[in-house]
Amino acid sequence: MQKSDLRNLSLARSEAAAAGREAAAPLHVAIIMDGNGRWATARGLARVAGHRRGAAAVRRTVEAALKLGIGTLTLYAFSSDNWQRPAPEVSALMRLFHEYLRKETAECVERGIRIAVIGRRDRLAPALRREIETAERATAHGRALLLRIAVDYSARDAILRAAARLKPAREATREEFSRRLAGAIHSPACPNVDLLIRTGGEQRLSDFLLWESAYAELYFSPRMWPDFEAADFEAALDAFHSRQRRFGAVLEAAAG
C-alpha cells in the first residue's frame, strides 16, 4: 500500500470515528432546492413567481437550521448550467440573490450567521459581487451557522480549478485537496456534507458538491421547494439519524 493510500485510509477511519459522535458534531446539510418552476406552472403563474416563493422557503429553512443546531447549510441557488435559462429568468434570480443579501445581512449579523457565497464570481454583475463581499465581511464573525449559498457553482469546474493549482508531480492528500477546493469556491473551511437533501422529486446530484458529498446520506423529497417547511427539514434529519454510517468500514459489533 502506498503512503498516500495509508493517509487516505486513516482519513476514512477518522470520518468513521466521527460518525460515532454525529449526535454531538454540528452537521453539514446541503440542499438542492428544486421545483420552483413546477410549483409556479401548476398554479398558472410565471416561473419567476416560484423563485420568489422559493426565496421565502430559504428564509424559513435558515431559521429551521438555526433552531436545529445545524453547523453548515449549503444551498444550491444557481448552477453554472443555469446560465442557459431564458435571460429574464436569470435576471430575476440574480435580483433575488441581491435582494436576499441586502435584506438579510443585518439579521444574520445579529443571529451569528456567517454568509459565504460559493462558486465563480467573475461572471456575476459587479453590483452583486459587491453585495456578496459586503455580506461576507459583515457576517465573518458569525459562529451559530455557516450559510453557504452556491451561485454560478459547478462541482466539476471547482474540482478542475483545484486540480490545476496542484504542483505537478506532487501527490496531494485528501485534506490538502479539500482545502484547495474550498479556496477555489471561496469557502471558509467546513466539514464534508453529512446530509444532502433534494426537493422536487428528482433523484440526481446535478453537479453539486461532488467531492464533499462522497459519504453524504442522500434524501429525496417529493415536496416542491416553495412548499418546503421546517417539518420537512426535520423529517429529513430524522431519516438521517436512522441511518447507519459506516464510511466503508465495518461496525465494531459486526466485526466480531
Annotated catalytic, 82?
Answer: yes
Measured from the CB atom, the residue of 162 and 224 that comes closer to ligand FPP is 224
Q: Examine residue 97 and tell whether it contacts ligand FPP (CB under 6 A).
A: yes
Measured from the CB atom, the residue of 84 and 244 that comes closer to ligand FPP is 84
Measured from the CB atom, the residue of 225 and 240 that comes closer to ligand FPP is 225
User: Which H or E element spans position 218?
Assistant: strand 217-220
190 Rama class: left (phi>0) / alpha (psi -120 to 50) / beta: beta
Annotated catalytic, 34?
Answer: yes
**Which one of 27, 28, 36, 194 is in contact with ligand FPP (CB under 6 A)?**
36
Q: Examine residue 142 and tell whether it contacts ligand FPP (CB under 6 A).
A: no
Binding flags for ligand FPP, 214-233, as an x/- string (CB under 6 A): -----------x--------
Give the C-alpha separation, 251 to 256, whole Å: 9
In sequence order, the 6+-apart residues with CB closer than 8 A to the CB of 240 are 27, 194, 195, 217, 219
Q: Examine residue 200 and tell whether it contacts ligand FPP (CB under 6 A).
A: yes
> 90: which 3 cell numbers?
436569470
Give the C-alpha separation, 64 to 46, whole Å: 28
DSSP secondary structure letters along 188-204: ---PPPSEEEE-SS---
Q: Examine residue 34 and tell whether it contacts ligand FPP (CB under 6 A).
A: yes
Exposure class string for 115-124: b at 16+ Cβ within 10 A, else e: bbbbbbbeeb
Candidates 82, 157, 207, 227; catalytic one: 82
Q: Which residue is nearest to ligand FPP (CB)?
A: 37
Q: Give the interface size with ligand FPP as a residue count (CB under 6 A).
A: 21
Rounded least distance, CB 55 to ligand FPP, Å: 4
Give the C-alpha separation, 76 to 16, whole Å: 27
Can you give the binding site for ligand FPP, defined by CB under 6 A? 33-38, 51, 54-55, 58, 75, 77-78, 82, 93, 96-97, 100, 149, 200, 225
